[in-house]
Amino acid sequence: MVAHGRLTFLFFSATLPLITVLFGAWSGSLLLVSGMAFGALWMPPVGSLAVLQHDDRIVLVAYALVGAFLVAAGQQLAKVARRAGSAEAATQEATDRLLQVERQARHRFDVALDSAGVPFVILTPVVREGRIAEFRWDYLNKAAAQLFNQNAAVVIGSSTAYVRPAGWEANMLLERLTPLAQRPGREAFDIRVSGENGEQWFHVVAASLDGSVVAWFGDVTPRVRAEQALSEADRRKDEFLATLAHELRNPLAPIRHVAEILEQPNLTEERRIWCISVLRRQSAAMALLLDDLLDVSRITRGALKLRKEAVAMREVVDEAVEIARPILAGKGHELVIKPPVRPLHIEADRLRLAQVLANLLMNAAKYTPPGGRIELAATADDAEIVLSVTDNGIGIEPDKLSAIFAMFSQVNRDQHRQGGLGIGLALSKSLIELHGGRLTASSGGKDRGSCFAIHLPATSRVLPMPAPTRAALAVHASAPKRRILVVDDNVDAADAMTAFLEMQGHDVRTVYSGEEAIELLGEYNPNVILLDLGLPGMSGLDVARRIRATPSTHDVTLIAVTGWGQQQDRARTTDAGFDFHFTKPVDIAQLTQAVDSAVAAP
């Protein structure tokens, strides 16, 4: 029992510092007093607080002293603990504050980059065997994430070798960004990609960042397309001006030749009448050319007004055929007209509708080899009225169908084959749209002919008026054949040149196509060939090359007579083997000198 009491006494002593630290100095002091009382109770006499023996008193005093010391030590430990707790709390508070600041900064960073609307990425290089093998996507803003077909969370951490925007090339990214990952720097460049939305262009600004690379990707597709459109418009403008000069020279050439013929003293009445006819036709051709230019200007400004009236479709067809007849006859085409089953009358601007139809006929004649077949048909049903012009000419390739109605474009953009300003179809399309209709084109492909159709709404039909029935018209013209060979598909120009040269005493033969020229050379051996470059089918350049490649005609003098007079055109004629290059209208003195020098040659 005594031993048990002493153990308990010792237990009280051992817990004094802990109690003091946990509950304070008063708790420690109370426990100390309780321990002393407990010890006194267990000292003889047991059960009494009186301590009679001297040794027990010494023990009790020692306990009191040691206990007081332990309480004091516990009190100091409590103070130290409180200070440590305060420091820890302050540290935790500072840590929380820093985390909050970091979260806010990251949030502001994300909001700022996302609100910019411009793709922004951070890429980290992946090094293998001492070199950068690929990059890893470490950050993407919302705009950048939209470039991918996957969620941004999936992209981040992925390799550029496997995950990248559609159409982007891994090698391109690696090649462009590797130098920035290896050394500090900044680079701006443009890239072109072919994605799901077609061809796109991005302006990239990339910079080094602690071994990584940051990059902005600005979508500049609208700007690039606008620049391309401006460049294309500028190119078309230059082509148009060159073509305009060419087309104006064409009618000027026979006019100038006719003027020279009219000055000859031995001019017959028949020849004079013919000269007047040529002047009228060619001046009319120039008038039509200028009218087209004016009409385009009026339509662009919205100043062109239609003068609609009730008109018989047959009248429109007859007027269009009359306008196109010279070129149809000059190229020996067969024109077949298929009128509607019943008389057809519409409310339209007769002049403008005939102008469009004539333009389609002349285009068909221009792009159909000599002796071709052209069909003009008119049909009507409850939905619409259709006027179609079909030919068996050179046709239109499928990828060019969508562009033929653009301003300053041509069905076959080859300046040495076909003439025209490239505004006819664009003008025709606008005129038909002013009538509430549409102009369409179709073709089976190259050398399979084409069909252009005017579609007018059925509402444009009006009550019919009596009109005489006329049979379908067929136009046939055979090219006449006359030591000088003149080759030109402009009949008036060729005949005028032939007449002038014949009056100079030369033996002249005349043909109107390159194929005819090659065929005639088998039986006719000229010293000089006057060759137009803009021939249908086989161009003048092709004919010249064939002539130079044939031993029997290798030494013939070749004179280019053309409306194309730019430096690049002269370079082409030189390469093809021409000896002279004259632009229309030809200076007669220069031409005579060139012909005389050739005739004098052995």
Contact between 601 and 528 under an 8 Å Cβ cutoff? The reply is no
Q: For residue 526, is it within any domain? A: yes
Looking at residue 32, its amino acid is: L
Do 209 and 345 share a structural domain? no
pLDDT digits (tens, 9 = 90+) for 153-203: 667 778 777 777 777 777 777 787 888 888 888 888 888 877 666 788 888
Expressed as residue numbers, the domain containing 33 is 2-92
* CA-wise closest residue to 191 among 227, 219, 155: 219
Of 92, 127, 158, the position where a domain reaches its end is 92
Region 442-460: what's the mean pLDDT? 89
**What CATH number did the domain enclosing 446 receive?**
3.30.565.10
More confident position, 400 or 301: 400
Predicted confidence (pLDDT) at residue 578 exceeds the cutoff of 70: yes
Of 219, 234, 260, the position where a domain reaches its end is 219
pLDDT band (50, 70, 90) for residue 239: low
3-class SS letters over 6-31: HHHHHHHHHHHHHHHHHHCHHHHHHH
Dist CA 15 CA 578 (whole Å): 123
Q: For residue 582, is it within any domain? A: yes
Do 80 and 7 share a structural domain? yes
Q: What is the DSSP letter of 159?
A: B
- Mean pLDDT (the chain) is 77
Q: For residue 277, is it within any domain? A: no
How many other CB atoms sit within 10 Å of the CB of residue 287?
11
Dist CA 136 CA 146 (whole Å): 18
More confident position, 417 or 326: 326
Do 61 and 176 share a structural domain? no
Do 526 and 437 share a structural domain? no
Do 174 and 74 share a structural domain? no
Do 139 and 69 share a structural domain? no
| pTM > 0.85: yes or no | no
Region 463-480: what's the mean pLDDT? 36
Q: For residue 285, is it within any domain? A: no
Do 588 and 505 share a structural domain? yes
Q: For residue 154, is it within any domain? A: yes
HSE toward the beta carbon, residue 558, CA cutoff 13 A: 25
Dist CA 317 CA 307 (whole Å): 18
Do 181 and 41 share a structural domain? no
**What CATH number did the domain enclosing 539 receive?**
3.40.50.2300
Q: For residue 467, is it within any domain? A: no
Do 313 and 451 share a structural domain? yes
* CA-wise closest residue to 383 among 272, 285, 457: 457
pLDDT of residue 482: 36
pLDDT of residue 546: 92
Q: For residue 272, is it within any domain? A: no
Do 424 and 334 share a structural domain? yes
Q: For residue 232, is it within any domain? A: no
How many folded domains does the chain comprise? Answer: 4
- What percentage of the chain carries pLDDT values higher than 70? 74
**What CATH number did the domain enclosing 188 receive?**
3.30.450.20
Do 542 and 438 share a structural domain? no
Do 187 and 64 share a structural domain? no
Of 460, 476, 505, the position where a domain reaches its end is 460
Dist CA 192 CA 420 (whole Å): 36
pLDDT digits (tens, 9 = 90+) for 483-517: 899 999 988 899 999 999 988 889 999 999 999 99
